[in-house]
């Protein structure tokens, strides 16, 4: 006997599949909350976090300036070969607040690079809300801090692959928060760049300025400056 689905049954099946796919997708993304905390699906606050910026991985969220929920740690791989693999945590758990003034290095970079007065999220003046930034990567004027990523000019993974794997943890944290290596740019271009070196990616504008800065940082930290293309 052949069973034929009625139109209402087909509609119900379609809605069920759509809902299942949406639920699966929602739980695969990492949520950066307005308070700057990265919640993956294992976080107790994951489902309660409604206002957030989505990321594909926990490391991407930490790279963008987020921090782990209190008491949560990144699971470490047990194999000895994993010790030489890049992980964001090798450079610290997100942005550091080295002077304990509640402004981590992301927000200090936003303040330093704003060409106008910044405003804060609240009276504590820890989190920047607005300012006036001109992206070196595009020349565009940006006022909303939530659409800005702080880019590591020399990406952390690129640094790891070119010598930072032999550094102490303290030196890697210093590198990850060095203002010379931090640029306020639009999130879209920072994520397009990813961990690519200057031979694979350069910004749409100001390429010579970008290459000069990349080379200066590579020389400072002895990270294969000979691999930086000439301008």
Task: Give every strand in the sheet of 119-120, ordered side by side.
Answer: 119-120, 128-134, 141-144
**Residue predicted with more confidence, 45 or 103:** 103
**Residue predicted with more confidence, 72 or 106:** 106
When pLDDT is cut at 50, 70 and 90, the band that residue 79 belongs to is very low
Residue 105 bridge partners (DSSP): none
Task: Give every strand in the sheet of 52-55, ordered side by side.
Answer: 38-39, 30-33, 52-55
pLDDT of residue 165: 96
Give the mean model confidence (pLDDT) for residues 53-72: 79
Supply angle C-alpha 213, 38, 159, rounded to 5.
Answer: 30
SS3 content of the chain, % helix, strand, coil (to 5): 40, 15, 45
pLDDT digits (tens, 9 = 90+) for 103-158: 999 999 999 999 999 999 999 999 999 999 999 999 999 999 999 999 999 999 99
pTM for this model (two decimals): 0.70
pLDDT of residue 83: 62
pLDDT of residue 53: 85
**Percent of the chain at pLDDT exceeding 70:** 83
pLDDT digits (tens, 9 = 90+) for 2-38: 555 565 555 555 555 455 444 444 557 888 887 788 8
Structure tokens at 180: 């010379």
Which among 223, 153, 221, 230 is positioned nearest to 185, based on CA atoms?
Answer: 153
Residue 204: how many CA atoms within 13 Å on its side-chain side?
Answer: 10
217 with 181: CB under 8 angstroms?
Answer: yes
């Amino acid at each position: 006997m052949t069973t034929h689905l009625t139109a209402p049954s087909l509609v119900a099946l379609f809605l069920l599949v759509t809902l299942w796919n949406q639920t699966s997708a929602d739980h695969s993304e990492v949520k950066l909350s307005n308070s700057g905390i990265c919640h993956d699906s294992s976080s107790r606050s994951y489902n309660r976090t409604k206002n957030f910026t989505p990321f594909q991985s926990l490391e991407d969220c930490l790279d963008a300036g987020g921090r782990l929920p209190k008491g949560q740690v990144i699971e470490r791989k047990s194999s000895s070969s994993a010790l030489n693999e890049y992980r964001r945590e090798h450079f610290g758990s997100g942005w550091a607040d080295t002077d304990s003034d509640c402004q981590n290095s992301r927000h200090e970079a936003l303040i330093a690079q704003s060409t106008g007065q910044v405003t804060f999220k609240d009276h504590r003046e820890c989190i920047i809300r607005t300012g006036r930034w001109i992206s070196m990567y595009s020349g565009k004027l940006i006022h909303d801090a939530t659409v800005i990523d702080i880019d590591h000019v020399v990406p952390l993974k690129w640094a790891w692959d070119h010598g930072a794997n032999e550094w102490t943890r303290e030196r890697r944290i210093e590198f990850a928060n060095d203002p010379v290596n931090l640029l306020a740019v639009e999130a879209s271009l920072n994520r397009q760049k990813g961990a690519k070196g200057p031979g694979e990616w350069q910004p749409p504008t100001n390429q010579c300025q970008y290459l000069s800065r990349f080379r200066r940082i590579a020389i400072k930290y002895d990270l294969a400056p000979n691999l930086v293309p000439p301008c």
